[in-house]
Amino acid sequence: MWSSAHDPVRQSHCPLSLDMRHPLLLSVLLAAGVTAGLTHDTFGLLRSSAPPDDRCAAPPTFQACNECHSGADINSGAGAFTVFTPSVYTPGQTYTLLIELQDPSAARWGFEITALDQNLNGAGTFTPINSEVQVSNSGGVEYAKHTSVGTSPGQTTEKSWQFEWTAPATDVGPVRFYAAGNAANANSSSSGDKIYTTAVAVASKPQEDATITLQPESAVAQRGSNWRVMASVRDHTGSNNQVLLVSRVKLPNGKFFPNSGWLFPPQTVNMTPGNWMEIDLDHVIPPSAPQITATYQAIIGRSPNTVVDINEFQFTIQ
């Protein structure tokens, strides 16, 4: 039987000002979740010249820097990680993006980001504007990431990077950015670092209203442990916006769990113009849970039955 409890959540983000973020709380405990303990770090940065591709907590693998670094669970540090993007893109237009990573214990820094369309194809192109950022390509998907210079050894408290993103030449629908940041302690080992992840969508037109982007700590969840899914809900209308958020699991047989109602019961999400909320959904699964591959689905909408956006991903219970 599922239970839910509201707990701390993360933050409200503004794409234009670093000073308009406000911490919040809203974590959900559901009895049938899943999780894998995740960690992070580096030799001051184990991959100081560049992290491998697909380490930015993007689907379908959702792998992050904790594949090599260790120290604490993802997003458990005392810092913050934010990607500042436009709320709406114009096809073919170039935008300057800003990434900011903060952590009081860090003395070296790293990041990786990618942009994907709804079919998980690369969306748009990245271009470095200084020596701190480089771009790689794997299977048609681009990744912007730090260079060795961009790790800023010895710099404390916070680090930021800027680079350009050129939107797709045609309207491909919402583009979702997935990013991971490494706030390393420069202790000459791959332990004790803090890994942060974030995700946010950019709409192709204001009429898209609002979007939801899901980012689990891992696509593999262990029976008898906790599994966290971050839901990023963003306004694209340019006005104050309100939606309801729910979630459920689609089983291999095509049926939904729970068979009635919602895994995550309806919760109101309020957004200011162009900004987004990051809501942590924490799930607990019993040790006896079946070992299956299923689809986690989250929906935002309005009463009585208006669907605004849906996002989903596959996960495996082991």
Domains along the sequence of the chain with CATH: 6-36+208-317 (2.60.40.10), 65-202 (2.60.40.680)
Does 6 have pLDDT greater than 50? no
DSSP letter at 159? Answer: E
**Of 37 and 238, which is predicted with more confidence?**
238
8 Å CB contact between 121 and 59: no
Angle made by CA atoms 246, 232, 3, in degrees to the nearest 5: 35
DSSP type of residue 193: -
The single residue listed with the structure tokens 């670092």 is 193
pLDDT at 50: 74
- Kindly report the backbone phi and psi dihedral angles of residue 194, in degrees, each rounded to the nearest multiple of 5, phi listed first: -115, 125
Quick check: 285 pLDDT over 80?
yes
Structure pTM? 0.85
Judged by average pLDDT, the poorest of 12-21, 96-105, 180-189, 250-259 is: 12-21
Residues 61 and 123: beta-carbon distance below 8 Å:
no
**How much is the mean pLDDT over the chain?**
85
Residue 99 has pLDDT above 50, yes or no: yes
